[in-house]
Structure 1
C-alpha cells in the first residue's frame, strides 16, 4: 500500500517494528524476575487494570496467560475503587496494570486499593515517569516513545509484545520466545500488506461488526475502537461465539463484517461465522492467517503472534480509510490524547 500523506498515525504505527526488539530485550530481566515470583508464590489469580486500548491489550493478556500459564485472569472494575471505595481482599493476587500515560486517576486508585489489600503489581506503561510507574513491583516500559496522534498504535502493539514476552517466560514456552525474535521483521512485513479492500468496502459504511475469538478478541475490540475514533464508523466488536447469541440477527444483505482469524482452532470458529454471514449476503472482510483465502492478507506465525501482526496491518488500512472518508485520523473530534477518568 502506498500513502503520500504523512499523518502521525501512519508514521507512528510504522515505528513499532523498529522499537520492539529493544523493548523485549530491555524487559527480559524483569520478566524473569516476575517468573521467579510466580513460581515461588503461585498466585491464585491475575487481575488486569486498564482502560481504552490498554484494556483491549488486557483482553489479549487474559487469553495468553490463561492458556500458557494456567492462572485465571479477570479484569478489575476501576469504579469499585474510584467511585464506591469498596474494600477488597487481594492476598496472593498479581495485578497487571497497562497504560500508555500511566496517569488516569481511577486506575491509580485501583492499583492503590489492590496494593493495600495485599496484591503485587506489574506495570506495563509507556511513560516511565508516570505515577503508575512508581507503583510497580515490576516495571515493564514499552518504549514506544512519544505518540502524538490521538489514536494509539505503536503503544498498543508494543504492549501486546510485552504481554507475549511475559507469557512466554512465565509459561516456559520456548516456541513463543523464538517467535518473538521474528516479530520485528514480521511487523514490517505486515505493515506493507495490501488491505485496500477494507478501505474501498467501508468508504461509505455506517455500521459494522468486528469479530475475533481467543487470542484475536482483543484486536477485534481495538479495531472497533479505532474505526469509531478515526473513521466516525459505528463498529461493534464481538467474539465469534457471542455474535451468534442475538447480534447476528441484524447481519444481512451488504452488512459489513471485519474478522480476524488465526491459524488455530480459535480461527476455525471465526471462519465458520464469516461463512454464515457471507451466505446471508453480508460484506465479509476476513483476515485469515491460515491461508485459506481470506479477503485480507495475513501472515502465519505462532498463534499468539498472529493477532499482533494483523492489528499492524489494520492500523495502516484504518488510517487510509479515515482519509478516504475526509477525516483527520490524528485529531478526532471531542477526543484528546490522555483521558483521565475518575
Structure 2
C-alpha cells in the first residue's frame, strides 16, 4: 500500500482525542437525560445514512443493556404521512452529524407537537437540531473535511453509549478504555492490508454482523460502497441466513464483524465456516481466536466487551475502507456524487 496520506486517514487518526473530548462533554449530561426520560417508556431514533447506523447501535444498546424499549422511526411518517401519533411516552433521539438535515429537523418539530421529549446528537452546536432539542448531545469530533463520516460517526456511537449509561446501562468504566483501544487500532493500520488485497478484485462483496455489531457491519458496507463505487450488500446475520446465503459462491468476499465475546460470537463463527464451505472467501474483523481461525483473512478488533466493542470495531473497518478505495484507484476523501449534508426530499 502506498504512503499517500488522505484527509480521511488523518481524520481516522484524530479519533482517540475526539472520543476523549466527547466523553468529557457528554458524561456530565447524564442526569439531564435521566430527568428528561422520567415518566416515559420508550425511545425512538430518527436518522439517515451513517447516522442511521449509529442509531441502530443505540437501539440495540438500550434494549440489551439498559432494559429500555427502543426502535428506529421512519422519517416519512412525519414528513410525508404526517401521522397523528401519541408520543407522550416517547423520547425521540434525532441524529445528524451536521444537525442541518431538513428531514430530520422536520421530524423533531413533528414529534414535539405530538408530545415527545427531544434529544439531539450532532457535531454542530449552533445547528437547528441542537437548538431544537431539550438536551443536545453535541459531539466533539471537530470539523470533518472528508466526505465519508469517520470521526463524526464514532463520536455518535459515544453519544449512544452515554445515553444508554444514563438510562440504566453500566458502561462508564468500559467507555474509559475506548480511546486507548482506538489509538492501538490506528497504530496497526497495516494489519488491514491482507483484507484489502482480498477485497480489491472481488466481484461481489457482502458485509454482515449481528446484534450490537449490526450497525458497524452496515456502516462498513455503506463506506465500501461510497468510496469504492461498487455495489455492496449489508445484511444482518438473520437476513443473510434467510435466503441470500443460497447464492453465495466463489466470486463473493464476505466481511464479518464480531465482538470478542457475547452471545453472537458463536453464531458468527459458525456463519464464517458455512460461507467458506459454500466457496466464499471470508474477511473477519474482531471476534476471538476460533473466529479468526475460521476466516481466510482476519483483522484484529479491540479488547473491549460487546456493549462498547462497536466503538473500536469500526476503526479497522474505516482503515480497510480508506486503503481499499485507494487500491481501486479512487479518492476516498471525495466520493463521486456525495456531499456532507444528507438531502432528502421532504415534499
Q: Could you say whether these structures have the same fold, taking a TM-score greater than 0.5 normalized by the shorter chain as the test?
A: yes
Instruction: Deviation per CA, 1:58-114: give whole Å up to 9, x if none.
Output: 000010000112121111111122222232221110011111011111111111111
Partner of 2:33: 34
User: How many angstroms does 1:3 deviate by?
Assistant: 5.7
- Where does structure 2 lack aligned partners over 5 or more consecutive residues? 293-297
The yes-or-no answer on 1:180 pairing with 2:175 is yes
TM-score computed with the length of structure 2 as normaliser: 0.94
Mapping of 1:202-217 within 5 angstroms? 202-217=199-214
User: Which of the numbers 214, 218, 237 marks the counterpart of 2:215?
Assistant: 218
Partner of 1:320: 323
Partner of 1:148: 145
Partner of 2:4: 5
CA distance in 1, matches of 2:230, 2:201: 9
Instruction: Deviation per CA, 1:104-142: give whole Å up to 9, x if none.
Output: 111111111110000001111001111111111111111
Point out the more displaced range, 269-278 or 215-224: 269-278
SS across alignment from 2:289: coil
Count of aligned residue pairs for this structure pair: 337
User: Which of the numbers 295, 312, 332 marks the counterpart of 1:309?
Assistant: 312
The yes-or-no answer on 1:339 pairing with 2:342 is yes
RMSD: 1.4
CA distance in 2, matches of 1:161, 1:217: 16
CA distance in 1, matches of 2:273, 2:340: 38
Mapping of 1:100-111 within 5 angstroms? 100-111=97-108
User: How many angstroms does 1:183 deviate by?
Assistant: 1.0
Q: Does the aligned pair in 2 maintain the 1:289–1:300 contact within 8 Å?
A: no
CA distance in 2, matches of 1:320, 1:227: 10
Q: Does the aligned pair in 2 maintain the 1:47–1:73 contact within 8 Å?
A: yes
SS across alignment from 1:195: helix
CA distance in 2, matches of 1:132, 1:14: 27
User: Which of the numbers 271, 274, 277 marks the counterpart of 2:272?
Assistant: 274
Partner of 1:190: 185
User: How many angstroms does 1:148 deviate by?
Assistant: 0.9
SS across alignment from 1:328: coil
SS across alignment from 1:292: helix
- Where does structure 1 lack aligned partners over 5 or more consecutive residues? none
